[in-house]
Structure 1
Amino acid sequence: MTSSNNSAARTPMTSHPTHTRESFEEKYEEQNCLGQGGYGSVYAGFRRDDNLPTLDGKLCQFPLEVVLLLIVGQGGEVIGEQVRHEASTGRGGGSQAAVALLDWYELDQELIMVLERPVPAVDLFDYIQERGGFLAEDQAKVILRQLVEALIVFHSRGVVHRDIKPENILVETGCAFPQIRVIDFGCGCLLKDGSYTEFFGTTQYIPPEWYLHGSYKAVPSTIWQLGVLLYDMVSGVFPFSTRREVISDEPYIKTNMSRQYKDLLRRCLAKRPKGRPTLEGILLHPWLQ
């Protein structure tokens, strides 16, 4: 058995199938359900020829999610039939920041995607809970730095994730220090300079500009999500509970937090998008030095 695993995803389809359920079951065995979320369910499983563990999950963004995973995984621009060929042959994996798409099956009523799953690993939510519900600043720094570096890679390849939260971050626990991998690009899209007028993501991570104007830009909204995530990692709770708080209130920060942490957090959670740093600016902030 190898040290990395796979995952698969299913979604209702309207196009004609290119594979059969039988061809998937010949190659993989689907097992128990590991969890469910707003965009799908994830199942355990394994590849029959070498017992490679897998995950099966129901996803909702085909074919875009296939394209996004190939782009962030291979570091290149992949379109048209090349996307289908490279996905179906399981090639991929230029970036270690995102899980790799190993295989996919377009069936009559569903899409099954087989994704890499590092072992041993837990999602960041469970990782935090196992450590008492919050992380020390030094622990949070390790996670945040890697996540920002990953997002810089994604954005450089023209992909914005749009749903950064603990449940979408895997933490590999078999190394000397935790290493993160980003999963679930079901809310993702191609990066553009202009504004987005449809929101895809998790309610607790909605930026104030969406409530105020019904639109947002990729980088400032990503920075806002990082600020919410950072607050959650260190405090164990969300910084805001209501729409009014998101628009008007400053987050409560415990007095025992470091000055650099408070400064970075306030910058990331600035109400005006132009007041937030860039991803590169976060890496240069004193708190991460």
Structure 2
Amino acid sequence: LSRGRFSIVKKCIHKATRKDVAVKFVSKKMKKKEQAAHEAALLQHLQHPQYITLHDTYESPTSYILILELMDDGRLLDYLMNHDELMEEKVAFYIRDIMEALQYLHNCRVAHLDIKPENLLIDLRIPVPRVKLIDLEDAVQISGHFHIHHLLGNPEFAAPEVIQGIPVSLGTDIWSIGVLTYVMLSGVSPFLDESKEETCINVCRVDFSFPHEYFCGVSNAARDFINVILQEDFRRRPTAATCLQHPWLQP
């Protein structure tokens, strides 16, 4: 189903229930047991329809294994593109949906720290499709302790503090939502450049604009939503609850 930096997810049949499930194999070579247990504990704690259910955990000689709810309707962005639904009204609907999932997570004082299109799945089993936020490998509890999140992958959706190696916050996720909104509205990325280094420089400088060729039909309210979020200083970024009050996200 998918492959990450330290894991692979496969579709399997649960022998006890004969139901299809998603099985995440986390490499013991790449992750310590407490790191895999951390993700499992978070999934057990989160009781919200926009997060996948953890059914069970196992261990093999080579992997830590998480038995998860199967989500095989695909990624949100692929669904919208395949159905030609990347209209602004639809984008606002799903950004609000994602923000509601994030608000729940942040109310638990947990930062996801890896929000990107690959980690947003669509659930079509219900009358009104909803987004499921997956992959809590990098998620951390935000408390009085400072946590520095090291950039391991593509910096495209990473906040300046991640690239600069300074402590992250719940606002780190908000930045990623701003980048995601830009991408969904325009089909292009605000900071992505020819190299990883150039992309990092663009992010840290907050060097982006709204080119007419990509944003000619996008409302001022949507642009304002992005501008309000993409603040270099995480303390100036709105909370998830405040974002949900923005005029652009009102039904």
TM-score (norm 1): 0.73
Alignment length (residue pairs) = 232
Residue 233 (structure 1) aligned with residue 178 (structure 2):
no
1:211 paired residue among 145, 154, 163: 163
Could you tell me how far 1:273 is from its partner in structure 2?
1.9
Residue of structure 2 equivalent to 1:66: 40
2:20 paired residue among 41, 53, 62: 53
Write the distance in 1 (CA, Å) between the matches of 2:82 and 2:5.
23
Q: Which runs of 4+ in 1 moved over 4 A?
A: none
Contact 1:57 1:113 in 2 (8 A): yes
Give structure 2 stretches of 5+ with no counterpart: 193-198
The correspondence of residues 110-259 of structure 1 with structure 2, limited to 5 A, is: 110-118=63-71, 121-132=73-84, 135-193=86-144, 195-199=146-150, 202-212=154-164, 214-241=165-192, 242-248=199-205, 249-253=207-211, 254-259=215-220
Write the distance in 1 (CA, Å) between the matches of 2:90 and 2:135.
23
Deviation per CA, 1:207-248: give whole Å up to 9, x if none: 123334x21432221110111111111112211021221122
The correspondence of residues 67-86 of structure 1 with structure 2, limited to 5 A, is: 67-72=41-46
Residue 267 to residue 46, structure 1, CA distance change in 2 (3 Å): same
Residue 98 (structure 1) aligned with residue 51 (structure 2):
yes
Identical aligned residues as a percent: 29
Write the distance in 2 (CA, Å) between the matches of 1:38 and 1:135.
29
Write the distance in 2 (CA, Å) between the matches of 1:49 and 1:286.
48
Give structure 1 stretches of 5+ with no counterpart: 1-33, 73-93
Contact 2:149 2:168 in 1 (8 A): no
Deviation per CA, 1:31-75: give whole Å up to 9, x if none: xxx232323211111123443111222234311111111121xxx
Write the distance in 2 (CA, Å) between the matches of 1:198 and 1:280.
24
2:227 paired residue among 250, 263, 266: 266
Contact 1:128 1:233 in 2 (8 A): no
Larger radius of gyration: 1
Write the distance in 2 (CA, Å) between the matches of 1:118 and 1:37.
16
Residue of structure 1 equivalent to 2:10: 43
Deviation per CA, 1:79-128: give whole Å up to 9, x if none: xxxxxxxxxxxxxxx31121011011023331111011246x21224224
Write the distance in 1 (CA, Å) between the matches of 2:179 and 2:56.
33
Residue of structure 2 equivalent to 1:280: 241
Could you tell me how far 1:202 is from its partner in structure 2?
4.5
Superposed CA RMSD in Å reads 2.1
My pick for the range that moved more, 108-117 or 279-288, is 108-117
Name the amino acid aligned to 1:256. G
Contact 2:75 2:120 in 1 (8 A): yes
